[in-house]
Structure 1
Amino acid sequence: MASEKNIENKHQKNLFMSIFTFHCRLLRCVSRCFTATSLSYPSTIHDDYTKLENQPHTKRTIILDLDETLVHSTTQIPGVRYDFMVMVKMESEIMPIFVVKRPGVTEFLERLGESFEVVVFTAGLEDYASQVLDKIDQNGVISQRLYRDSCREVNGRYVKDLSMVVGEDLASALIVDDNPSSYSLQPENGVPIKAFVDDLKDQELMKLVEFLEICYVYEDMRDAVQDLLAN
């Protein structure tokens, strides 16, 4: 009996999240059809959420890492099918880099682009990273690209200062990165993700996009991260 009750509770929870996600998407569709002054979000969607009410419809910002978050790259032919290859100058040689796209990356970017300003902030060199981004973002979803020369070096590590992207408006931005030290200057804005190497059954991006779409209704998106990490 206890196990049946647990299954029923889990089913109800999943049903609520599906309804809630649909409700968020519906709100964003309505917001495109009316002016900001006509918007009035419901006073409650769920007791755990702090929501936007009577706020202008402005895009929030999602900052994405590149390597091991969106793709995996290697100088050796990988053990799984790679998606494309780029040629990068290393010292005096031109080297091939084999790139495996994380499953779902195209849909992930397109869905984010519907509601968010999408930025890629990578510690990779521009010569390499720009070629990879050209390949995975052929629809031009990514509005801004920052490379290694935009990182700060802290204790020998490359750290990404999010204020370079959004200034002081950190409540409106989140960064997705497999390496928490990369966002150590603003850890409350960081959304951790499992590092991707060669698991072609990986579904982390599809799980993540559902969470990020819900984050949109928070007044301070950092509150959503606190809820995520608390569960």
Structure 2
Amino acid sequence: MSRIARSRLALTLRTSAAPFSTFSPAAAASSASKEAAAAADASLAPKDAAAAASVSSSAAGDPSPAPPSGARSAFGLLKTGILTAVTAAFGATGYVTYAYSLDEVDHMTRDFRKNSKIPISEDLSGFEKFKAMAYSETMKVPASAIDLYLDIRSQIEDQIQGFVEPSSEKLLPDLPPQEQHVFTIVLDLNETLVYSDWKRERGWRTFKRPGVDAFLEQLAKFYEVVVYSDQLSMYVDPVMERLDAKGCVRHRLSRVATKYVHGKHYRDLSKLNRDPARVIYISGHALESCLQPENCLPIKPWKLEAEDTQLIDLIPLLEYVAMARVSDIRPVLASFEGRDIAAEFIERSRRLHEQKQQHGRIWRR
């Protein structure tokens, strides 16, 4: 092989052993330009996002930034403090109203309200005047609040008193001088003198208790007779017009004359303008409906029993009390407590009669 042939063979072998490549100057330039564009896009992306967020925020109408968390917490603390103060004020007012009467509150706060109006003397120094003025202005608000509380409570209690207390301090007129010794007998109406009953086919009916006519006529000879009911006058007056045709009952008292306590109307005998030692209250519910149990003479409630004789049985005892003119009826009534009053009086009368007979026989000997 000639020298020229060997040179060509060596060149061919070197060319086939070199790695395969598609590199060209144009391709390299194109690739470099693409990488630069991508880098530019990446650098511009955050700015575009911020601009878009700014535009959307402006479009939403919120140009001002949100308040800092410290301001929000301070405002919440202020609201909590105000609510706590108002709640405490209402709680204190409720407790004072429950625990103390109006006069007690007025007495306890009188000095405080008086001291809140200290006059400022001209002899004081400038600092002392300022101090006195500051104290006076500081105390003026609570003092005015107490005055307002007292005024409102006084008005409310005055309104309530009209419903709770009897309509007058003297429910009955004064007794004439010639009747100062007369006892006053107070009678309940329903289930004592009458009984009201309702049925679908006839509605309301009021029935007279057996013996009520004779009872009223006999008592009117010895007593000042008063009917004291917890019913409204629109019920009491028509019933009494029919029941007391002879005018044995001098006075009628209805619900407005009662005292309202814990949801119930009570008879307050202390408002009758009568000596309590000379007042007897008769009722089928005497101890449950009267504020003076020592003046009560309880009898069995009447609920249409045809054989009832309670009123007639009481006449002997009541006649004896009136004629004996006892100085105080309350010990007499207490001696019958827990007993059948009519039967007990008959038994006592029998024993007294036997003692008198025995004493008479001894005296004759």
Runs of 4+ off more than 6 Å: none
**Residue 264 (structure 2) aligns with:** 157
TM-score (norm 1): 0.64
**Residue 178 (structure 1) aligns with:** 284
User: Which structure features the higher share of strand residues?
Assistant: 1
2: distance between equivalents of 1:63 and 1:99? 20
1:223 aligns with 2:331: yes
Give the 3 Å change call, closer, same or farther, for CA 166–208 of structure 1 in structure 2: farther
1:70 aligns with 2:196: no
Q: Which runs of 5+ in 1 are unaligned?
A: 1-35, 37-55, 79-94
Correspondence for 2:222 among 112, 115, 134 = 115
Give the 3 Å change call, closer, same or farther, for CA 104–138 of structure 1 in structure 2: same
Correspondence for 1:206 among 298, 312, 320 = 312
Give the 3 Å change call, closer, same or farther, for CA 141–160 of structure 1 in structure 2: same
**Residue 21 (structure 1) aligns with:** none
1:114-135 C-alpha deviation (Å, 9 max, x unpaired): 0000000000111111111111
1:161-193 C-alpha deviation (Å, 9 max, x unpaired): 0122234x100101001112211x211000001
TM-score (norm 2): 0.41
Correspondence for 2:248 among 138, 141, 156 = 141
Instruction: State the shift of 1:57 in Å.
Output: 7.0
Paired residue total: 159
Instruction: State the shift of 1:97 in Å.
Output: 2.5
1: distance between equivalents of 2:264 and 2:305? 27
Q: Which amino acid aligns with 1:159?
A: Y
Q: Which runs of 5+ in 2 are unaligned?
A: 1-177, 340-365
2: distance between equivalents of 1:110 and 1:96? 30
2: distance between equivalents of 1:215 and 1:193? 17
Give the 3 Å change call, closer, same or farther, for CA 203–150 of structure 1 in structure 2: same
2: distance between equivalents of 1:102 and 1:230? 23
Maintained 8 Å contact 1:68/1:196: yes
Give the 3 Å change call, closer, same or farther, for CA 75–161 of structure 1 in structure 2: same
Give the 3 Å change call, closer, same or farther, for CA 166–74 of structure 1 in structure 2: same
Instruction: State the shift of 1:230 in Å.
Output: 5.8
**Residue 189 (structure 1) aligns with:** 295
1: distance between equivalents of 2:296 and 2:223? 16
Larger Rg: 2
User: Which structure features the higher share of helix residues?
Assistant: 2
Give the 3 Å change call, closer, same or farther, for CA 229–150 of structure 1 in structure 2: same
CA RMSD of aligned residues (A): 2.0
Give the 3 Å change call, closer, same or farther, for CA 161–69 of structure 1 in structure 2: same
Among the aligned pairs, what percent are the same residue? Answer: 34
Bigger relative contact order (CA 8 A; separation at least 6): 1
